[in-house]
Every structure is written in C-alpha cells, then in structure tokens.
C-alpha cells in the first residue's frame, strides 16, 4: 500500500514539474501594434489592401489617368453589329450634260467645298453654238411678237385673211417654245448667254471631295462622274438585330458604340427607325440610329459594335483596364494623396525635390462587361470622391510586385 502511494506521489510531482517548465520556457508573442500607432495595419493584412508610392518621374512615365465611376447600363442591352452609313441625299457624283474639254480644276481631293462652289471649267464649240441659238431665238421672238400683234390687229379689222394671222401666230408660238427651251438649257448648264463659251462645274452639295476622275485637257463625257462629294454631317448607324431580340428594340431607345482607333471614345445615338424586312439571308433586321455626339472623325462604312439600351438599369462601372487581377482576386487603385518632398541643407532654406504620389489598392468584384467598361462593386469602403486610376493601373501593380519582390516594403 505504501509503495502504491509512492508511485502516485511521483506522478503528481512529474506533472507539476512539466507544467512549470512549459510556462517558464514558452516564447511569449510580441504584443500587436496598437490601433493608435497604426490603425489600418490589421485591417490591411486581412483585406489585401496595399499602398504604392510613385515619384514624379514614375507618375509621368506611367500615363496615369484619374477619374471616377461612370453609371452605365451594361445588362439590359441588346448587342448589335453594323456600319456607319450615309444617306443618298448626302452623297453626290458631279457629271455634265454636254461633253467638253477640261480647261481648269480648282479643287483637290479631301477639300471641303460649299454648295454652288466652282469646281472646274470646260470648253466646247457646243457651248458657243448653244449661246448663238439662244441669242438668235431671242431676236426672232422679238420680231415675231411684233408681227403677231400687227397681224392680230389687221385680222380684227378684217384687213387681212385669217390664214395669214394663224400662220404668224403659229410661228410666234413655236419660236416662243424654242426660246424657253434654250433658256432652260443655259440655266441648267450655268452658261451666261452673252459670256464666254466656258461651262462651269458647280458643287451640288456641301461636303468633302472624295474623288476626282479628270485632269487638264481630258474629255468630260456625259454621265461619267467628274467629282464625288460626301457630306458626313448626316451620318447615321445601321445595326443588324437578330429575330430573337427584335421585339425589344423600339424607336427612341439610346445606343452606344466605341471606335477602337479613337481611344475608345464612347459615341451615343438614338434609334429612329426599325426595318420591316430581313436583310439578305441573315435573318436580321436593320435598325437605323442617328448619331448624337458626332464630333469624332467618322466616315461611311466604319464597322461598329454597339449596345442598344432596352432597359434603364444603370450600374457603377469603370474602364476594363482600370481593374487588375492578382492573387486570384480583382483590384483597383485610388490616389490616396500626394506630397512634395523637400531637401533641407544646413543654413539654407528647404528646396523642393519633387512630388510623391501615394496609391492604395482596393479589392473589388466585377460583373457584366460591355464596350470596354465593366460593372464594379467595392468590397471595402473608399473615401467619397476619391480619384480612381482609370488608366495606368497595370503599371502601378507591376511597381508593387517589383517593390515586394525586391525587398521593398509596403507604405
């Protein structure tokens, strides 16, 4: 019994000794920094928020563009492809009614001309003959007019026969019709009856000269275009909408499209007509839309990828290039602040060395993406009206990775 109690006592002493040694040699963890010293450190460690600092040279080299969220409808839309198109009323081929030799060309391709502006002049004996016929007819008409009045008076007084009066009247009416025809021809050709036998070629519409098919001394043929002119001010968009989406599209709805070769500037328009027949064998219908902000250099035939707004659900969005992916997540950068570094020397006033820009990386979640914009939801609160990096986010992200990989620290 005594031996048994000794064993139990030894076990108890061993347990107590082990506990003392454990608490004596256990490494006490360093106390966490207080929130007063660094209030966001713990939050950053859990939310993958990072801060990046760029100096002024880096900031300029990155091409950073700052902005804010844009409210866009990215979900309740119909996607459609199409082309910019010019109505036939805003295109013109300039040709002649009578052949002639080109005497002068007063414009060049690409030149903007006004309606009625002189483009070229032609010469031909036909023009001189037409002027001569006009002047001859005019003189004959004056004579026949007087003769007609005289014969009418004599006929009323029964001095001459009715046959003579009728013949004079017939000659007068024939010459009157001939004179009117010659006058219309001269007006149509813009020929001055008493001027030089030079045919002016005038612009029928205002616009840009797109083609010149003649040269000095060449023969201008009837019906063959000499110049082509386009007026792009009335350009519109023809979009092809498939049968499954046709019921959603109505006149008055807004459209949006971008041109990749013009810095993705968004162009707006409005549907003014929906076609009533299928286009060829595509089972699609043409939807015609006016262009509202046509300040860009648009020409007919440009391919466009457009969105037709069939709803009114606007969401918070950013350009696609504003969102970077890292660590399997998505982030944006905001400008947290900027400061000017000053260098102080003993006995001299401080000298400004340059600016430093501080950016903060914020985790987000993206949604629908359309026309270079993507729906963005913030996973962490950001200061109101904080400048968001719309362009240059990948540069900042690469700088962050370089700093971390090269032993840099997070600011």
Distance CA 51, CA 66 (A): 17
Phi, psi of 73, rounded to the nearest 5 degrees: -90, 105
Instruction: Kindly list the domain boundaries of the chain, sorted by start residue.
Output: 41-72+315-405, 77-86+235-309, 93-229
Answer whether 296's CB lies under 8 Å from 233's CB: no
For residue 205, the 8-state DSSP code is S
Among 44-53, 202-211, 368-377, 379-388, name the one with the lowest average pLDDT.
44-53
Question: 358 pLDDT band (50/70/90 cuts)?
Answer: confident
pLDDT at 337 over 50: yes
- Give the integer Cα–Cα distance in Å for 65 and 395: 12
pLDDT at residue 117, rounded to an integer: 94
Q: What is the pLDDT of residue 348?
A: 56
pLDDT tens digits along 7-23: 555 565 555 555 555 55
* pLDDT average, residue stretch 280-309: 83
Q: How far is CA 248 from CA 8, 75, 84, 253, 287, in A?
A: 88, 13, 22, 10, 12
| CATH number attached to the domain at 77-86+235-309 | 2.40.30.170
Least confident residue range of 99-108, 171-180, 333-342, 343-352: 343-352
Distance CA(56)–CA(64), nearest Å, equals: 11
Q: Residue 66 corresponds to which tokens in the numbers above?
A: 């700052």
Tokens of residue 82, six digits: 């199409």
d(CA 133, CA 189): 15
pLDDT digits (tens, 9 = 90+) for 152-180: 887 777 766 778 878 888 888 998 899 89
Max intra-chain CA distance, the chain: 181
Q: Which is more confident, 48 or 53?
A: 53
Q: What pLDDT, on the 0 to 100 scale, is given for residue 41?
A: 36
Residues 313-335 have a mean pLDDT of: 88
Q: Note the pTM of the prediction, 2 decimals.
A: 0.60
Cβ-contact 303, 83 below 8 angstroms:
yes
Which residues lie closer than 8 Å to 144 by C-beta, 6 or more apart? 168, 171, 172, 175, 176
Cα–Cα distance measured from residue 164 to residue 149, given in angstroms and rounded to the nearest whole number: 12
pLDDT score for 13: 53
Q: Would you state the structure tokens that stand for residue 270, as one six-digit string?
A: 């409005």
The percentage of residues in the chain with a pLDDT greater than 70, rounded to a whole number, is: 80
- Tokens 């602040």, located at residue: 337
Which pLDDT value is given to residue 39?
A: 35
Rounded mean pLDDT of 348-363? 74
Q: Is the Cβ–Cβ distance between 149 and 136 less than 8 Å?
A: no
* Helix/strand/coil (H/E/C) assignment for every residue in 258-300: ECHHHCCCEEEEEEEEEEEEECCCCCEEEEEEEECCCCCCCCC
Q: Residue range 292-307: average pLDDT? A: 80
Residue 38 has pLDDT above 50, yes or no: no
pLDDT top residue among 259 and 310: 310
Average pLDDT over residues 143-155: 82
What is the phi/psi pair of residue 75, to 5°? -115, -45
- What is the dotted CATH code of the domain comprising 93-229? 2.40.50.100
For residue 227, report the phi and psi dihedrals to the nearest 5 degrees. -135, 155
**Cβ 364 vs Cβ 377: under 8 Å:** yes
Beta bridge partners of 388: 67, 334
Q: Residue 147 contacts by C-beta under 8 Å, 6 or more apart in sequence?
A: 168, 171, 172
Q: Determine whether domain 41-72+315-405 maps to CATH 2.40.420.20.
A: yes
Percent of the chain past pLDDT 90, that is, above it, reads 22
* CA distances to 9, 21, 331 from 250, in Å: 94, 83, 38
- Give the burial string for 225-259 (b: 16+ CB within 10 Å, else e): bbbbbbbbebbbbbbbbeeebbeebeeebbbbbbb
The pLDDT mean for the chain works out to 80
């Amino acid at each position: 019994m005594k031996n048994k109690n000794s064993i139990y006592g030894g076990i108890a002493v061993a347990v107590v000794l082990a506990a003392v040694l454990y608490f004596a040699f256990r490494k006490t963890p360093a106390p966490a920094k207080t929130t007063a010293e660094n209030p966001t450190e713990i939050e950053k460690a859990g939310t993958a928020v990072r801060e990046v600092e760029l100096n002024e040279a880096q900031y300029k080299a990155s091409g950073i563009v700052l902005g804010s969220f844009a409210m866009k409808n990215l979900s309740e839309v119909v996607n459609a492809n199409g082309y910019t198109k010019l109505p036939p009323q805003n295109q013109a081929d300039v040709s002649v009614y009578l052949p002639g030799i080109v005497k002068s060309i007063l414009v060049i391709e690409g030149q903007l001309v006004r309606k009625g502006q002189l483009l070229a002049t032609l010469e031909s004996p036909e023009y001189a003959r037409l002027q001569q016929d006009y002047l001859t007819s005019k003189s004959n008409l004056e004579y026949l007019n007087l003769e007609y009045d005289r014969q009418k008076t004599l006929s009323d007084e029964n001095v001459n026969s009715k046959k003579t009066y009728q013949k004079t009247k017939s000659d007068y009416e024939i010459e009157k019709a001939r004179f009117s025809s010659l006058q219309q021809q001269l007006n149509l050709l813009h020929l001055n009856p008493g001027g030089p036998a030079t045919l002016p070629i005038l612009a029928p519409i205002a616009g840009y000269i797109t083609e010149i098919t003649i040269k000095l001394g060449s023969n201008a043929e009837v019906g063959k275009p000499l110049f082509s002119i386009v007026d792009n001010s009335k350009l519109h968009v023809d979009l092809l909408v498939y049968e499954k989406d046709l019921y959603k599209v109505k006149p008055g709805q807004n459209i949006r499209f971008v041109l990749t070769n013009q810095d993705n500037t968004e162009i707006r328009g409005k549907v003014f007509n929906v076609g009533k027949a299928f286009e060829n064998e595509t089972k699609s219908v043409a939807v015609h839309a006016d262009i509202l902000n046509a300040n860009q250099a648009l020409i007919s035939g440009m391919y466009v990828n457009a969105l037709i707004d069939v709803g009114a659900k606007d969401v918070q969005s950013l350009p696609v290039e504003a969102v970077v992916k890292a660590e399997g997540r998505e982030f944006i950068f905001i400008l947290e602040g900027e400061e000017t570094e000053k260098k102080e020397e003993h006995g001299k006033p401080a000298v400004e060395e340059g600016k430093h820009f501080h950016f903060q990386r914020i985790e987000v979640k993206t949604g629908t993406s359309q026309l270079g914009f993507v729906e963005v939801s913030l996973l962490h609160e950001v200061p109101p009206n904080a400048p968001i990096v719309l362009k240059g986010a990948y540069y900042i992200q690469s700088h962050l990775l370089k700093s971390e990989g090269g032993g840099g620290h997070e600011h």
